[in-house]
Amino acid sequence: MKIKTEMKWRADFALALAAALLLTLIPATGEAWQQGRAPAQPPTKPTGQEAPRAQPPVNKEILKVRLPRAKEATLKNGLRIIVLEGYNQLPTFTMQMVVLSGGLSDPPDRRGLANFTAALLREGTKTRTSREIADQLDSLGATLTTDAGLSSLTSSVTTSGLVKNFDRALDIFTDVIRNPSFPTDELEKYKTRTLAQLQLQRATPNFLSWERFNQAIYDEHPAGIVSPPLDSLQRVTSADFARFHSAHYLPNNAMLAVVGAVTLAEILPKIERVFGDWKSGAAPKTVIPPTPTQPATKIYMIDRPGSVQTGIVLGNLGVTRDDPDYFALQVMDKIVGGGPAARLYLNLRQAHGYTYGAYSQFNSWKFRGTWYAGADVRTEVTEGAMKEFLYELKRVRDEHVTPAELDSAMRALVGSFALSLEQPQTLLQNIITQKLYNLPADYWDTYPQKVAGISAEDVQRAAQKYVDLAHLQIVAIGDASKIRDVLAKYGTVEAYDSEGKLIKATDSK
């Protein structure tokens, strides 16, 4: 299983290589050193005149790309199959079973059950031991991962491998999805491993602030917790898993999505052979709980002695995935904190040198997601960083973004579509998103027009609605002895320890 231990910042910049992008709008001051080897263009005038600037050659046209179409089929038992055919020339495939029940289907006294069930799938089936599954997958050079979040709509099983081994990988994939046995000895091992993991992740600042932020925003809502409660983990039995599995892992409650060097015609008979006799049934409908009313602005300080930075996160409740405001919020997010060309980065990193990066991010689900901004800053500049964050949040509410900012955001969002054509998994996820959230069939084709249709007024309206300064939830993790007084200037401070426990006022100074 995978317990998420990190708040996900901009994935497109997390290229697994050290980041080092810088830029500024602030004019250079002080004495400039210029190291010149040869003028870009011969100066037209002699000394005393500045050499003319060479213009960067930008192609003003946004490259139009045609997104590939998926082919679809449905088995008699209701299993929907989606295939993105022959994608790129690498002889590999990725196959994902998306079960339409996840953490949102957990029984209230068994939070994490969907997550545990997914994790245990590969720890034993009716005919294979955990070790055999590992051996066989590794022999094929295939990977198999499972996932179900604590408040997710779905559970998923994903396998990737070489097309040559498609049949054998499909065999194991089918077995873990249809015939898991949840052996008790593996369950015990899983429990001790997970208990240790839950403890270890409390060493990571990002996990702690993510936990606190979600708690602040969602409270009792299922999204209020981001890792399984210990008592729940200790309580669950193999019988609970079997029950969850038989109630939810049903062909008419699932989608099978495949991308790679395969065709629907060639794999459909194979899928039919292994999943054709999977019995359909009535899966309990997922209830989407309402998100809570937001409390007044508060600062949640997490004391992490030894910290040399303060990790700051500020945010609010955002939108559901199908909300008409989605595009306005997306453009606003891009302009405020969507990368190294955005306001937060320019301000906190480029102009002030407070941080390695300051970004904003939003997510959206069947229930309302969040919009949040954040950065890790050195302890001494916690106050300056808070001031600049609040300045930028207020600014986007109070003033129209400039036509240049709007145009740049649009060009960035639409232009980068070409890059996604090299990432088949991204394209497949887009198709799954469109289906899960019942978005229009032409959703991704009309995406550029929708982004281009957002005006400065739309952005401001989204900011005023979703950057709610009266109900802003602020998390700051760091050395409490050094940041408490600074934070208190910005509102009521509530202190927590790294176990996630509230520190009573009498315990602290």
Partner 1 sequence: MREASKILTTLIVCVLLSVGAVAQQAPKVRIDFKETVLKNGLRVITAEDHQAPVVSLALTYNVGGANERKGRGEFAHLFEHLMFQGTQNVGPGEYSNLILNNGGIANATTGDDRTAYFETLPANQLELPLFLEADRLRGLSVTEGRLDKERNVVQEERRMRVLNQPYGRSDEVLTEMLYDNFAYKHGGMDSMEDINAASLEEIKEFFKTYYAPNNAVLVLVGDFKTDEAVALVKKYFEDIPRQPDPPAVDLSEPEQKAERRTTVEDALARAPQVSLGFKASRGNTPDLYALQILSAALGGGRSSRLYQKLVKEREIVNDISCSVDERSGPSALYITATLRPDKKTEETEAAIYEEIERVRREPLSDLEIEKAKNATTLAFISKIQTSLFRAIFISLYAGYFNDPNLINTWLDKTDAVTKEDVARVVEKYLRPTNRTVVITMPKAKAASTGTAGQ
Positions in 178-207 near partner 1 (CB under 8 A): 189, 192-193, 196-197, 199-200, 202-205
* Span near partner 1 by CB under 8 A; candidates 34-42, 171-179, 323-331, 435-443: 34-42
Q: Which of 138, 167, 220, 277 is in the footprint of partner 1 by CB under 8 A?
A: 138
Minimum Å distance from CB 153 to partner 1?
27
Give me the 370-399 binding string for partner 1, x by CB under 8 A, dash otherwise. ------xxx---------------------
Q: Which of 11, 36, 234, 507 binds partner 1 (CB under 8 A)?
A: 36
The closest alpha carbon to 145, from 126, 158, 154, belongs to 158
The reply on whether position 2 binds partner 1 by CB under 8 A is no
Fill in the DSSP letter of residue 93: E
Within 116-135, which residues bind partner 1 (CB under 8 A)? Answer: 130-131, 134-135
Q: How far is the CB of 142 from partner 1 (least distance, A)?
A: 7
Q: Which is nearer to partner 1, 21 or 265 (CB)?
A: 21
d(CA 466, CA 262): 43
Is 11 one of the binding residues for partner 1 (CB under 8 A)?
no
Taking CA atoms, 51 is separated from 33, 44, 57, in Å, by 16, 7, 18
Nearest to 368 by CA among 233, 166, 221, 228: 221
499 is a contact residue toward partner 1 (CB under 8 A)? no
Q: Per CB under 8 A, does 356 bind partner 1?
A: yes
- Tell me whether residue 237 or residue 416 sits nearer to partner 1 (CB atom): 416
> Two tokens at 300?
């949640």
Query: Given CA atoms 116, 122, 128, 130 in this order, what sign does their dihedral have?
Result: negative
Q: List binders of partner 1 among 271-310 (CB under 8 A).
A: 304-309
- Using CB under 8 A, pick the residue from 179, 286, 423, 433 that binds partner 1: 423
- Give dist(CA 7, CA 14) in Å, integer: 12
The least distance separating partner 1 from the CB of residue 138, rounded to whole angstroms, comes to 4
Establish if 155 lies at the interface with partner 1 (CB under 8 A): no
> Which one of 87-95, 209-217, 272-280, 462-470 is the stretch in contact with partner 1 (CB under 8 A)?
87-95
Q: Considering the rule CB under 8 A, would residue 220 count as an interface residue with partner 1? A: no
Distance, CA of 354 to CA of 349 (rounded, Å): 6
Q: Which of 46, 47, 49, 54 binds partner 1 (CB under 8 A)?
A: 54
Total number of residues binding partner 1 (CB under 8 A)? Answer: 108
**What's the CA gap between 161 and 282, in Å, rounded?**
32
Stretch that binds partner 1, among 58-66, 71-79, 231-239, 283-291 (CB under 8 A): 58-66
Pair 327, 398: CB distance under 8 Å: no
Instruction: Spell out a b/e string for 188-205, using b for 16 or more CB atoms within 10 Å of the CB, else e.
Output: eebeeebeeebeebbeeb
Residues 468 to 497: which contact partner 1 by CB under 8 A? 479, 481-482
3-state class (DSSP) for residue 496: strand
Contact range with partner 1 by CB under 8 A, out of 47-55, 236-244, 264-272, 463-471 = 47-55
Contact 409, 331 (CB under 8 A): yes
Q: By CB under 8 A, tell whether 165 contacts partner 1.
A: yes
Token digits for 42? 């011969």
Whether the CB-CB separation of 243 and 232 falls below 8 Å is answered with no
- Per-residue tokens: 112: 């994490």
Stretch of 30-38, 237-245, 291-299, 317-325 contacting partner 1, by CB under 8 A: 30-38
Nearer to partner 1, 90 or 288 (CB): 90
Determine the longest span between alpha carbons in the chain, in angstroms: 86
Phi, psi of 455 (to 5 degrees): -105, 170
Closest to partner 1 by CB, 196 vs 296, is 196
Interacting residue with partner 1 among 51, 239, 296, 488 (CB under 8 A)? 51
Instruction: Please say which residue, 56 or 269, places its beta carbon nearer to partner 1.
Output: 56
139: its two tokens: 């022999």
Residue 40 found at the interface with partner 1 (CB under 8 A): yes
Span 434-473, contacts to partner 1 by CB under 8 A: none
Phi-psi group of 124: left, alpha or beta (phi > 0 → left; psi -120 to 50 → alpha; rest → beta): left
Rg (CA), the chain: 25
Tokens found for residue 352? 């002030």
